[in-house]
Amino acid sequence: MIQISPHAEAALTCTLDERSLYLRRLVLGSVRSAGRGHVGPALSLIEIVRVLYDDILRIDPNNPRDPERDRAILSKGHGCLALYALLADRGFFPLSELDGFCGSDSILGGHPEYGMVPGVEASTGALGHGLSIGVGLALAARMRERNYRTFVLLGDGEINEGSVWEAAMGAAKHGLDNLVAMIDYNKLQSYGPTDYVLPLEPLADKWRSFGFAVQELNGHDVGALRTVLKQVPAVPGKPTAIICHTVKGKGLPAAESNADWHHKNKLSDSELDAIRVAVGDF
Amino acid sequence: MRNTAMNMVHKLAARDERVLYIGSDPGAGTLRAMSKEFPKRHLIEGISESHIIGMSAGLAMEGFVPYVNTIATFLTRRCYEQVAVDLCLHNLPVRLIANGGGLVYAPLGPTHQAIEDIAIMRALPNMTVVCPCDADEAARMMDKTLDWTGPIYIRLGKGGDAVVSKAEHGFEIGKAILMRPPGDVLMVTTGIMLQRAIAAADLLAAQGVRAGILHMHTVKPLDTEALLQAIRGIKLVATLEEHVPSGGLGSAVAETLIDKLGSGLPAMLRLSLPDRFMHNYGSQDSLLKKHGLAPNAIATSIEHALAASRTSAPQLHST
């Protein structure tokens, strides 16, 4: 029988602070404007992206291509609404851009594009690409004797892709301790539970056996994320995998653990009312 | 051709510190001298082509120029999405050195025969497709790859191909080489079909048919100017390729002529492999012969097409 991680239980029950609610309002505002968006995958990701961009990444919104910056790749590109909210809030581009999400002249598409969106390191959306690119970035840092670090955010459904595990072997081969893989483990992919579609457990053991130092935490616990991320690499000489137990649609009761909210088209009036109750006026 | 291209990676690495060699699981000792001289820039990353392409993209984003090398079918079919998204969408300077383009691996069967690689690589925006004809040209070609913008697919023959290119021809990516002036016929070739075209042209000359040869070593971007110049006054354009009929050199030439000329097209003959997987083994030469791509058959096909073009309205021939 599969043991439910205490981190997963904590993810279900933990409350969100005002900044997390504010970021959700930005995400849901984009969805309301566009009449579409991957809601569930963005809401599970918000605290991960928030802590990275608020507290961990050495980045400068005024110099987004600084050679010394830390690199972050959103390999689960469909979670881009969370990334866009953080990038806009941090000043990579104006907040008003969020209202244009998926518009014909917008810089913000349904998946993030390099060269279009300041702060986006790689075009993603096709799954299973980001960790390999991250291995290349991290290896380049090693070869060039640079100190930047590379963070790759992966979805749990995404790691169905075999290329992720090829990349994991490559990262371990090179001992890339400047590389951190963060798995948004919300346990629900497009069709339904990951356990039904393609079981991932024992997930931590998988990453360990592939040569990673593994940490597990509640991916909505901002403090825990800060603590773990400030201590990477978890083990010198090894890449780090952080399994972030999260809840798909976190913060929006109707959407939580509900595959119907993986991608959402037009929000109804009653849904908008429910969102206001959950995250505040937006 | 293959050894020459590989050795050029070493030479380029000596010249430029951005150059990396990345092999999946190549033959023992591949670029051993480079691995000794530049061990950090000689990477063997395992039978994981999808990952290798993504990793190369990451390295190229940081200013490296990776030369990725494995068998052509694995470098195109296995990791097509990574080539499309990681390399072409980002327009990164990664070079794909494809061993055994076409029927080089004839004895190993259809899993190893790259007969649609030009088509699928050519379809991708930002991709450049180059097919040198011999070792000397491969060396000149490799020299030009260092500073080319965007990804390049390099289709290599097996090696030991007769050297027919000449130093005075030079080599510029995207610039076709007129090997023989056009007469009644213009043959347009790529890769090792050039040697067959030369032999076919000699046979045709003996029959009183003057056949020119335009060596289109770069299939993308196609040298439209050279093509339009070379077809002036000719009666028949014949394309020769070690490739299925769809999407390769013949398609590229036909598309260009239609786009540029609209009407008044010359008669055209596309000589290629059939639209099916090969279920014969043997050798590259024996399979080319079986499918009408040996010099005798080429010359005969051209004679027939030329005769047909004299007696009927312009038409499109295809094997």
Point out the residues of chain B with pLDDT beneath 50: 315-316, 319
Are B52 and A132 a contacting pair at CB < 8 A?
yes
pLDDT at B212: 98
The full length of chain B comes to 319
pLDDT at B262: 84
Cα B285 to Cα A53, A219, B252, distances in angstroms: 59, 60, 24
pLDDT at A268: 93
Mean pLDDT of A131-138: 98
pLDDT at B313: 54
114-133 of A, contacting B, C-beta below 8 A:
114-115, 121-123, 125-126, 128-133
Residue of B nearest to A143 (CA): B40
- Contact present, B185 and B222 (Cβ < 8 Å): no
Is the pLDDT at A1 greater than 70? The verdict is no
Helix axes A162-173, B49-61, angle to 10 degrees: 60
Q: What value, to the nearest 5°, has the Cα angle with vertex B192 and ends B190 and B194?
A: 65
**Nearest by CB: B58 against A137, A163, A166:** A137
Is the pLDDT at A155 greater than 70? The verdict is yes
Is the pLDDT at A10 greater than 80? The verdict is yes
Mutation choice for B interface testing from A166, A174, A179 by most B CBs within 10 A:
A166
Closest CA–CA distance from residue A62 to any residue of chain B (Å): 20
pLDDT at B311: 78
CATH match for B174-318 among 1.10.10.60, 3.40.50.920, 3.20.20.10, 3.30.200.20: 3.40.50.920
Q: Which residues have C-beta within 8 Å of that of residue B28, sequence separation ≥ 6?
A: none
Closest CA–CA distance from residue B59 to any residue of chain A (Å): 5
Are A128 and B59 a contacting pair at CB < 8 A?
no
Task: Kindly report, residue by residue over A257-267, the tens digit of the pLDDT.
Answer: 998 999 998 89
Are A162 and B50 a contacting pair at CB < 8 A?
yes
pLDDT at B151: 98
Mutation choice for B interface testing from A66, A69, A123, A129 by most B CBs within 10 A:
A129
The full length of chain A comes to 282
Task: State the pLDDT confidence band at A273, using cuts at 50, 70 and 90.
Answer: very high
Closest CA–CA distance from residue B3 to any residue of chain A (Å): 27
Q: How many CB pairs under 8 A join A and B?
A: 95
Amino acid identity at B228: L
Q: ipTM score here?
A: 0.96
> Largest Cα–Cα distance in chain A?
55
Are A136 and B56 a contacting pair at CB < 8 A?
yes
Query: What is the reported pTM?
Result: 0.96
Short-list B68, B113, B112, CA closest to B87: B68
Is the pLDDT at A139 greater than 80? The verdict is yes
Is B174-318 the same fold as B2-155? yes
Are B50 and A166 a contacting pair at CB < 8 A?
yes
Is the pLDDT at A165 greater than 70? The verdict is yes
- CA B285 from chain center: how many Å? 17
Helix axes B2-15, B135-145, angle to 10 degrees: 30
Task: Kindly report, residue by residue over B218-264, the tens digit of the pLDDT.
Answer: 999 999 999 999 999 999 999 999 999 999 999 999 999 999 998 88
What is the arrangement of strands in the sheet containing B177-180, beginning at the earlier edge strand?
B177-180, B211-215, B185-189, B236-240, B267-271, B316-318
User: Cβ of A162: how many Cβ atoms within 10 Å?
Assistant: 12
Are B62 and A135 a contacting pair at CB < 8 A?
no
Cα B185 to Cα A257, B218, B264, B298, distances in angstroms: 68, 21, 16, 12
**CA pair distance B150, B83, nearest whole angstrom:** 12
pLDDT at B312: 65
pLDDT at B158: 85
171-200 of A, contacting B, C-beta below 8 A:
173
Amino acid identity at A89: D
Residue labelled with tokens 């290896």: A139
Are B50 and A133 a contacting pair at CB < 8 A?
no
Task: State the pLDDT confidence band at A4, using cuts at 50, 70 and 90.
Answer: confident
Average pLDDT, chain A: 96
Each domain of chain B, given as residue ranges in start order, spans: 2-155, 174-318
**CA pair distance A193, A257, nearest whole angstrom:** 9
Are A134 and B81 a contacting pair at CB < 8 A?
no
Mean pLDDT of A161-180: 98
**B296 three-class SS:** helix
Mean pLDDT of A215-240: 98
Contacts of B45 in chain A (CB under 8 A): 170, 173
Fold of B2-155: Rossmann fold (3.40.50)
Mutation choice for A interface testing from B19, B47, B55, B80 by most A CBs within 10 A:
B55
Task: State the pLDDT confidence band at A2, using cuts at 50, 70 and 90.
Answer: low
Interface of B with A (CB under 8 A): 40-41, 45-46, 48, 50-64, 81-82, 85-86, 89-90
Are B57 and A138 a contacting pair at CB < 8 A?
no
Q: Which domains does chain A have, with CATH numbers?
A: 8-279 (3.40.50.970)
Contacts of B85 in chain A (CB under 8 A): 123, 125-126, 129
